Chains A and B, each alone.
Chain A
């Protein structure tokens, strides 16, 4: 008991980080090993270096496990996010211009809804279980539907204006 009380304690935050960020495999053994080495005269800097390496390995491991699908998903997500942001900005600019259609506000709303749905579905953690996976897919479906609706509305608005039915001017 006295030995435990006299034991040199590692930086609390570093120990917490190792406990939470190290891979699940042999986590307790790693914590014990780090404590053993630290107790035998290693510096706090050494301990922090181990924390950094453990964190890096965790990230690499996660990327390796999810593999190419993860990269493809990230690329797709980035492209989709860029599309949504551009769409919202374009619609906002259009509605702030000299003329507006009654459909503009609904288009912006739809675009926002689509963006929120898509972002949520992309950020949703994959390992949450089948039920949440279903929800995630549902959200993706909603975002795709919304994208199609927005595109259709925009196209319809453009066609209407081109046919000579301009939107009401804002005073």
Chain B
């Protein structure tokens, strides 16, 4: 029986960003998206390391784009989620929702 591999926090964020990217996601866009949504500055090599793990787990697939001059003739690698990736993201979200039932609400400061 194949052991289930759980996603780390960065992997999950990268996967969710790829899902939101509608097949046009690439390293820079994922890094910017995570930075914008979470306020964390994620380095590009870390994003690619996470993407590599996700692709190895069969959660995302990649295609090579056209090389452009502004990238020194290097092509972009575009990522899109696989069916397994979507399932994994849904399961992760449901798990987080279930586990966060006991989380106390924000304490509002008195005005």
Of the four ranges (under 10, 10 to 19, 20 to 34, 35 or more), the interface on chain A belongs to: 20 to 34
Contact present for A7 and B70 (CB under 8 Å)? yes
Interface size on B, residues (CB 8 A): 23
How many angstroms between the C-alpha atoms of A126 and B22 in the bound complex?
41
Q: Which residues of B contact A61 (CB under 8 A)?
A: 49
**Which residue of A has the minimal Cβ distance to B46?**
A53
Is B74 a contact of A28 with CB atoms below 8 Å?
yes
By a CB distance below 8 angstroms, the chain B residues around A28 are 74-75
Contact B48 A32, beta carbon cutoff 8 Å: no
- CB of B70 within 8 A of CB of A36, answer yes
- Other-chain contact of A39, B44, B51, B67, B70 (Cβ < 8 Å): B70
List A contacts of B70 (CB < 8 A).
3, 7, 35-36, 39
| A49 contacts B28, C-beta separation under 8 Å | no
- Chain A 107-135: CB-based contact to B (< 8 A → 1; otherwise 0): 00000000000000000000000000000
Within 8 A of B (CB), among A22-77: 22-23, 25-26, 28-37, 39, 49-50, 53-54, 57, 61
Q: Residue on B with the closest CB to A37?
A: B28
Q: Which of B43, B51, B72, B77 contacts A50 (CB 8 A)?
A: B43
Residues of B within 8 A of A53 (CB): 43, 45-46
A35, A37, A50, A54: which contacts B74 (Cβ < 8 A)? A35
Interface positions of B from 27 to 70, Cβ below 8 Å from A? 27-28, 43-46, 48-49, 51-52, 62, 67-70
The answer to whether B44 touches A3 (Cβ under 8 A) is: no
Q: Any chain A CB within 8 A of the CB of B24?
A: no
**B2 → chain A closest CB, angstroms:** 19
Minimum distance in angstroms from A37 CB to a CB of chain B: 6
Contact B43 A31 (CB under 8 A): no
A36-B28, A37-B28 given as contacts; is B72 within 8 A of A7 (CB)?
yes
16 contacts between A and B (CB under 8 A): A3-B70, A7-B69, A7-B70, A22-B45, A23-B49, A26-B27, A26-B77, A28-B75, A30-B27, A31-B72, A32-B76, A33-B28, A33-B44, A34-B44, A35-B74, A57-B45
* B contact set with A: CB distance below 8 Å: 26-28, 43-46, 48-49, 51-52, 62, 67-77
Given contacts A22-B45, A36-B70, 7 further A-B contacts (CB under 8 A): A4-B69, A23-B49, A29-B48, A30-B44, A33-B27, A35-B70, A54-B45
Binding site for B on A (CB under 8 A): 1, 3-4, 7, 22-23, 25-26, 28-37, 39, 49-50, 53-54, 57, 61
